[in-house]
Structure 1
Amino acid sequence: MLHNDPIAALTPEVIEWRHHIHANPELGFNEHETARFVTEKLRAFGFDEVHEGIGGTGVVGVLRSGTGARAIGLRSELDALPVVEKTGLPYASRNPGVMHACGHDGHTAMLLGAARLLSQSRAFDGTVCFVFQPAEENEGGSMRMIGEGFFKRFPVEAMYAVHNWPGLRLGTIAARVGPQMAAVDTFELTFEGLGAHAAMPQLGDDPILAAGAFVQAVQRIVSRSVDPQSALVVSLTQIHGGNVGNIVPGKVCLQGTCRFFELGHSDHCERLIGEIARGIAAAHSLNAALDYKKGYPPLINTAAATARAVEAAAATVGRENVSTEFSPSLGCEDFAFMVREASGCYAWIGVGDVGPGEGLHGDRYVFNDEIVPTVLRYYVNLVEQTLPGKDIEAAG
């Protein structure tokens, strides 16, 4: 890179911001210090407006240039995860049991970097909203922002976001029209009856036996009730029951998730999980109680916004390094609510291969700082190409 390249010049400072945020992680809706850090930066950059407390602890910076009426939004996440960090980094988490194990520290720092670059150049015509969202991981922070009137206060034609993506080749960007991330529902199931001494099981019921039967039977939903070419995953993630070695407990609780792209699978899973649970409970003389919660919808990139994102990506890394045809992920992302509301595009930024425990949500996950200049350039290209200044538009 040229020495006078403003992106190359800013990159080391953005990495410093990232390391600071990483060392001071905060969980969803408690990102007070992170939000304060972001707010101070945006004000120092000379933003036209800086709004705090959006959707709890969210921050929105508004940057205007020229006279254009069009507006777009760029979004990153503020929250960390309840993970004990084992990276051994010099800037590792100072908050025990909390870790930026997904890269939100990098996403926030890079969006701040783009904010600084665009506030200095203002080489666009219109409005850009820089959205720093709380509680992406589990609490649905974007849904809360929307519920509190985010899009009425900050009307935009499309929202854009990126996520670092382990396993995708370094130096590549991937975005596809249609589903890029899956929907997710969660459920909690309880089998309850009479406990008994382990030596006299005939005097009670056995919810552990019922739970074992359910773990096996519930997979018929995936293998026998939907088209094999339709993506669906039903995963049991927790089983809790008993606390004494010689007592059959009276209650066992199970938790799990369902992930899919087709919206109809939500009602289908809820119905069949209930039917299977009630059937097994009846066979074991137990009661079954199901609490099924509909979660994040699928993240479906819209055509026009994705076309703009792909053009910006091609200008950033070269068209040969932009992927638009690939299998979506069955992971979930609450940016789905924003795209559903306003259209938009979510892009993956390749960080290369990683080892066990070093991927997203792993306790040895390390954000790849090599992608920082790529994302800064992508955001600048996206804004300047989507909201071209008068001189650029005339030249085109």
Structure 2
Amino acid sequence: MPLNLDTDPHLNELKKLRHKLHAAAEVSGKEQQTADIITDFISATNPDELQTTIGGCGVLATYDSKKAGPHVLIRCELDGLPISDDIEADYRSETDGVGHKCGHDGHMTIVAGVAKLLEKHRPQAGKVTLLFQPAEETGKGAARVMQDSRFKNLAPDYCFALHNLPGVKKHQVVVKNDTFAAASVGLIVRFKGATAHAAHPEEGNSPALAVAQTIQSFSAAPQFHVPLEESAKVTVIHAAVGERAFGTSPGRGTVMATLRTYDDELLAKLKDHCIQIAKGYADTFDLEIDVEWVEEFPATVNNEEAGEIIKTASEKSGLEMHQKKEPFSWSEDFGHFTKEYKGAMFGLGAGKDHPALHAQKYDFPDEILATGISMFMQIINETIDRS
């Protein structure tokens, strides 16, 4: 497969695809229209195998050289976010309250661009499979895909993914050894006491003090339970006590928090500490307690060999590269793949002054589509060459 494949003839078509995907933004687990758009586009590239409904709405397309060699997986995400799209463009999201505010429309389009090139230029050896994964934003999609028997049958040797990075110079490739993105999990604590008339709160059992003290103790947990040389955050994202009823002393309270570390083992310890804190206040104030864990993301840890492949691909592509010292503090469920397969993720600059990820004004910059396609094609070539 030639190293310098020209993406220019496909860019107008790809931009139209990106805008169509942007307008059709759907939340995690409900990406059927998005999957249909992708399936229609990918089927026209004549993959050797095309599979749908993988782990939900996921799509898999495999391009086979029919020769012995490594099996390379390139992964992107289907889902948007429950955030309103506040951009001035004719392709603005048609779904109220939902938008592609993390750039997954761009990630999909980059991988679709790889499909366009693989249509005419199969890999020199081995196979390439393109995965359009559902439900990344909730942390559920990767695990569901990996549990799907059809994905298990693929048994890829390597896996790669990218994420666009606002605040970073356009086209710059950002690499990181070892941990690339943080582990995180959502915690919901529900306290149950007993309501009473607001004139006689002593006749009930309000969880108000338990909620207040839990908020304080959660926020302080990293200081008292995490070693100085390690990093962790507990961010309280929601709290509520009772209802808007001025005649009633509350009987229920809720605290929600996100726990975040760069290490899965440290996250497990932090989870235990937070449970001990919450149960301690439940005991102190004689309350019932219910605990729920949601949206769990493992740390995304880059394999050394896969990371070197990305670096070499960047150098051969003539792109500026930045070696990041600290992991990104946000989470990515690509970490499920890097736990099982040799894999790595890299960042691609979206522009120094570009609106931030998850902002209502955010829109993926079409100018970096060709760069992302070129990087993935170079990664495929480099992986095959090393085999």
The two structures have a TM-score, normalised by structure 2, of 0.93
CA contact (8 A) 2:77 2:136 kept: yes
Aligned length: 383
Shift of 1:270: 2.5
Shift of 1:361: 1.5
CA contact (8 A) 1:235 1:256 kept: yes
**Equivalent residue runs for 1:271-310 within 5 Å:** 271-292=272-293, 295-310=296-311
Q: Deviations over 1:96-140 (max 9, x none)?
A: 121111111111111001110122123532210011111111051
- The structure 2 residue matched to 1:377, chosen from 367, 374, 377, is 374
Identity of aligned residues (%): 28
**Equivalent residue runs for 1:171-250 within 5 Å:** 171-243=171-243, 244-250=245-251
Shift of 1:26: 1.6
**Equivalent residue runs for 1:249-264 within 5 Å:** 249-264=250-265
SS in 2 for 1:375: helix
Counterpart check, 1:27 vs 2:58: no
SS in 2 for 1:6: coil
Ranges of 4+ aligned residues in structure 1 off by more than 4 Å: none
Q: Deviations over 1:119-166 (max 9, x none)?
A: 212353221001111111105111111111355321211100111011
Q: Are the structure 2 counterparts of residues 353 and 345 from structure 1 closer, same or farther at C-alpha, using a change threshold of 3 Å?
A: same
CA contact (8 A) 1:58 1:134 kept: yes
- Which amino acid letter does the alignment assign opposite residue 33 of structure 1? Q
Match of 2:103 in 1: 103
Shift of 1:5: 7.0
Match of 2:352 in 1: 353
Instruction: Give RMSD over aligned pairs.
Output: 2.1
Shift of 1:280: 2.1
Cα distance in 1 for partners of 2:225, 2:305 equals 35
SS in 1 for 2:40: helix
SS in 2 for 1:90: coil
CA contact (8 A) 1:172 1:317 kept: no
Q: Which runs of 5+ in 2 are unaligned?
A: none
CA contact (8 A) 2:140 2:295 kept: no
SS in 2 for 1:163: strand
- Which amino acid letter does the alignment assign opposite residue 368 of structure 2? I
Q: Deviations over 1:326-380 (max 9, x none)?
A: 211121111111111112011110112347xx31122221111111111111111
Counterpart check, 1:325 vs 2:324: yes
CA contact (8 A) 2:69 2:384 kept: no
CA contact (8 A) 2:47 2:62 kept: yes
Q: Are the structure 2 counterparts of residues 210 and 322 from structure 1 closer, same or farther at C-alpha, using a change threshold of 3 Å?
A: same
Q: Are the structure 2 counterparts of residues 51 and 172 from structure 1 closer, same or farther at C-alpha, using a change threshold of 3 Å?
A: same
Q: Are the structure 2 counterparts of residues 270 and 325 from structure 1 closer, same or farther at C-alpha, using a change threshold of 3 Å?
A: closer
CA contact (8 A) 1:47 1:62 kept: yes
Shift of 1:293: 5.2
Match of 1:342 in 2: 341
SS in 2 for 1:304: helix
CA contact (8 A) 2:262 2:327 kept: no
SS in 1 for 2:85: coil
Q: Are the structure 2 counterparts of residues 388 and 96 from structure 1 closer, same or farther at C-alpha, using a change threshold of 3 Å?
A: same
Q: Are the structure 2 counterparts of residues 121 and 267 from structure 1 closer, same or farther at C-alpha, using a change threshold of 3 Å?
A: closer
Cα distance in 1 for partners of 2:26, 2:382 equals 35
Match of 1:167 in 2: 167
The two structures have a TM-score, normalised by structure 1, of 0.91
- The structure 1 residue matched to 2:384, chosen from 383, 387, 395, is 387
CA contact (8 A) 1:167 1:353 kept: yes
Shift of 1:313: 1.5
CA contact (8 A) 2:215 2:255 kept: no
